[in-house]
Amino acid sequence: MFFNPSMPIVSLHTPIEYLKGIGPNRGDLLRKEMNVQTYGDLINLFPNRYIDRTRYYKINELQNTLAEVQIIGKIIHIKTVEFGKNQKRLVATFIDETGQIELTWFQGLKWIRESLKLNEVYIIFGRLSEYKNQFSMAHPELELLEEHQSNLRSAMQAVYPSSEKLSQRGVSNRVISKAIQQIFIETKAQFSEPIPSSILHELKLMPKGEAMFNIHFPKSQNHLARAQFRLKFEELFFIQLQLITKNSIRKHKIKGHPFEVVGHYFTDFYNNHLPFQLTEAQKRVIKEIRNDMGSHAQMNRLLQGDVGSGKTIVALMCMLLAKDNGFQSCLMAPTEILAIQHFSGLSELAKSCNISIKLLTGSTKASERKVIHEALEDGSLDILIGTHALLEEKVKFKNLGLAVIDEQHRFGVEQRAKLWKKNEIPPHILVMTATPIPRTLAMSLYGDLDISVIDELPPGRKPIQTVHRFDSNRLKVWKFLKDEIAKGRQIYIVYPLINESATQDYKDLMDGYESISRDFPIPNYTISIVHGQMKPAEKEAEMQRFASGKTNIMIATTVIEVGVNVPNASVMVIESAERFGLSQLHQLRGRVGRGAEQSYCILMTGFKLSNESKIRLETMCRTNDGFEIAEVDLKLRGPGDILGTQQSGVLNLKIADIVKDQEILIQARAYALSILKTDPQMMNPEFKIMKEVFIELSKKKSIWNYIS
């Protein structure tokens, strides 16, 4: 081959179209469909699964229970068949010594017909289908026997991620596999080793080149398992290096306001106005936050606490510390209902503290906004509570020292960044969540934050008793509700839908309201109703009626998941409970159990339940521990569903799975911490390649492009 000056020297950064067997057209397709830009991207396209290719079937052994099979035989006849309107398919008769099957193609007919050879020995591989006792295989993989024998192969064939377009345009699994084989040939399988040798030896990790080869062409099940472990460890190790370094840099480089004074506002509230004694967990968390805010670095702390654990009072005491040091605070909540709840709660707690608190939401009137803006800028407003409205350009603080963000996973990164810019020196950030985050998720997503956990409930709270009841038990459930109301208690009944659905067989609020009104008639019983289609003022009025005890029963959708605090409410009935996710069920249950009386949660369902629904209901009945529930939820749904679209992209992992690979993640974090503790700059010559990869990763969002 003569030298082509336009062709780059082959490396893992070489554009994919230069690869033999790919070219410009397929290269363009791979870019668009799989974001494969370079040799490195393709070799880091890891298989979804593996198929046993050691078995060759005879045609008379085929059964319709077999999904994918490979057969040795010959094509003896080819024809084009017209069907439908101007549609054609190619049909070939394939035989071995025991029988025959049909092979069919619906795309690329001309090219396939020209490439097929009659009476030559082929290996075919594909998915079987059966019609009138006749087996057929659509778009099979075909390989001449001699080619099959000379090709690199392993007992287990890798199956790669694909798309409809790739399949239609002939970029089959075999094409991808051959292209990856070609990369190994062209690059001479040269992979630099980014994991320090001390870790390689300690964990007996497979070397990088060997792991990459065995992930694509495993020599055995054992080789595959070792390759997977090694590559998963590497991916998680570099993520942890980044997160831990990010946290360290933030502490050393990003200056914060030092809150060195513990003054009158904090001590007066603590000594004279606390409505109840703080739990040991609350005291510990306040101490951790005080230490952070007392240093000269900006605090970035995640505060986790189950429903009702007392995060709000912790937030207030941090805000009083800010006031003692001459700074303002803000609290941002994702919904207006929750912002109002925080405003009411904090105003009540701080009524004796002589501090100014205001609420700013989308519903705040223009005249009131003007007053708030002026008070913020002249420093006479101490605490501002609100929704996204806090992020508006017009909202300017005199000296914002602390920003509390509630349920931060509901805010995008850009939105949170706007809060930072409200001050020349960034405010201290306290992120609060009542959605317990499993340890592995916290280590992966919030690994750059310090984490505090309030892991005990205030004294006097009794655990909520949770039971599962079928619709056929409804009369007994209603009798129980009437007994509770007779004791002076109040009831929540939550529905998944507002109106009846034609496609979903779930209980709906409007129908439920009618039947409950019949079973709980006026004047003996009074009912409030709240749902998302009501105007904010109407919702607020109904909630106030319930909160003040004027109504016995609150019928609602999940708008009451957050933002309602009625200590007298002792029963939560959740209709069509199978429709809700675990974390949602747990949040709804947290609306009761806020007083000293025994509280109950009743999960109502029909008899027809999926296996996953049964696990959710059983988990809810078994435990009140939000962290245990979050772990089960993570296993059932995966991180993407739990985090939602705004955050799930952060964990765009190529091979590791933070649910299944928890042990590897914990190990990877421990090694990353150990290295950065002893050598934060990674100056040890042993870390040379690791540091180069780390620097490349810090510039880019995608980890695997650069690990090789």
> Is 4 a residue whose pLDDT tops 60?
no
pLDDT at 650: 46
Strand 134-138 vs strand 121-131: parallel, antiparallel, or unpaired?
antiparallel
What is the pLDDT confidence band of residue 249, given thresholds at 50, 70 and 90? Answer: confident
Domain 264-454: homologous superfamily in CATH: P-loop containing nucleotide triphosphate hydrolases (3.40.50.300)
Q: Contact, 142 vs 123, CB < 8 A?
A: yes
Domain 54-152: homologous superfamily in CATH: Nucleic acid-binding proteins (2.40.50.140)
What are the beta bridge partners of residue 80?
Answer: 90
User: Residue 306 burial (CB < 10 Å; 0-12/13-18/19+)?
Assistant: buried
Better pLDDT: 612 or 531 = 612
Average pLDDT, the chain: 84
pLDDT at 537: 78
User: Residue 424 burial (CB < 10 Å; 0-12/13-18/19+)?
Assistant: exposed
pLDDT at 447: 63
Per residue, what are the HEC states of 581-645? CHHHHHHHHCCCCCCCCCCEEEEEECCCCCHHHHHHHHHHHHCCCHHHHHHHHHHHHHHHHHHCH
User: Residue 389 burial (CB < 10 Å; 0-12/13-18/19+)?
Assistant: buried
Domain 465-623 has CATH 3.40.50.300: yes
**Residue 248: CB atoms within 10 Å:** 14
What is the pLDDT confidence band of residue 265, given thresholds at 50, 70 and 90? Answer: very high
Strand locations in 84-159 (E): 87-96, 99-105, 121-131, 134-138, 141-144, 156-159
C-alpha–C-alpha distance, residues 120 and 147, integer Å: 12
What is the pLDDT confidence band of residue 690, given thresholds at 50, 70 and 90? Answer: very high
Q: Contact, 158 vs 217, CB < 8 A?
A: yes
* 3-class secondary structure, 114: helix
CA 231 remoteness from chain centre:
22
C-alpha–C-alpha distance, residues 90 and 320, integer Å: 78
Tokens 């609020």 correspond to 509
What are the beta bridge partners of residue 144?
Answer: 122
Tokens 């690990």 correspond to 707
pLDDT at 562: 55
User: Of 268, 458, 262, 259, which Cα lies nearest the Cα of 351?
Assistant: 268
> Is 503 a residue whose pLDDT tops 60?
no
C-alpha–C-alpha distance, residues 91 and 113, integer Å: 10
pLDDT at 70: 87
Evaluate the CA torsion angle 559, 560, 561, 564 in order and state its sign.
positive
Give buried/exposed letters for 676-696 (b at 16+ CB in 10 A, else e): beeeeebeeeebeebbebbee
> Is 234 a residue whose pLDDT tops 90?
yes
Q: What is the pLDDT of residues 521-536, one digit of tens each?
A: 988 999 988 887 888 7
Per residue, what are the HEC states of 304-327? EECCCCCHHHHHHHHHHHHHHCCC
* Count of CA atoms in the C-beta half-sphere (13 A) of 317: 24
Q: What is the mean pLDDT of residues 247-275?
A: 84
> Is 8 a residue whose pLDDT tops 80?
no
What separation in angstroms does the CA of 185 have from each of 294, 648, 704? 58, 36, 20
Q: What is the pLDDT of residues 134-187, one digit of tens each?
A: 889 988 988 888 877 766 566 678 889 888 888 878 888 888 999 999 999 888
> Is 198 a residue whose pLDDT tops 80?
yes
pLDDT at 645: 36
Q: What is the mean pLDDT of residues 8-23?
A: 84
Show Cβ contacts of residue 59 under 8 Å, excluding neighbours closer than 6 positions: 71, 73, 95, 96, 98, 99, 100, 101, 135
Residue type present at position 3: F
Residue type present at position 289: I
- Which residue ranges make up each domain of the chain? 54-152, 197-252+659-707, 264-454, 465-623
> Is 683 a residue whose pLDDT tops 70?
yes
**Same fold yes or no, 54-152 and 264-454:** no
Q: What is the pLDDT of residues 395-446, one digit of tens each?
A: 889 999 999 988 765 555 555 566 666 767 788 989 888 777 776 666 666 6
Tokens standing for residue 301: 């702390």
Tokens standing for residue 200: 């390689």
* 3-class secondary structure, 77: strand
pLDDT at 258: 87
> Is 16 a residue whose pLDDT tops 70?
yes
Dihedral over alpha carbons 283, 285, 287, 293 (to 10 degrees): -150
3-state helix, strand, coil in the chain (%, to 5): 45, 20, 35
H or E stretch covering 573? strand 569-574
Residue type present at position 47: P
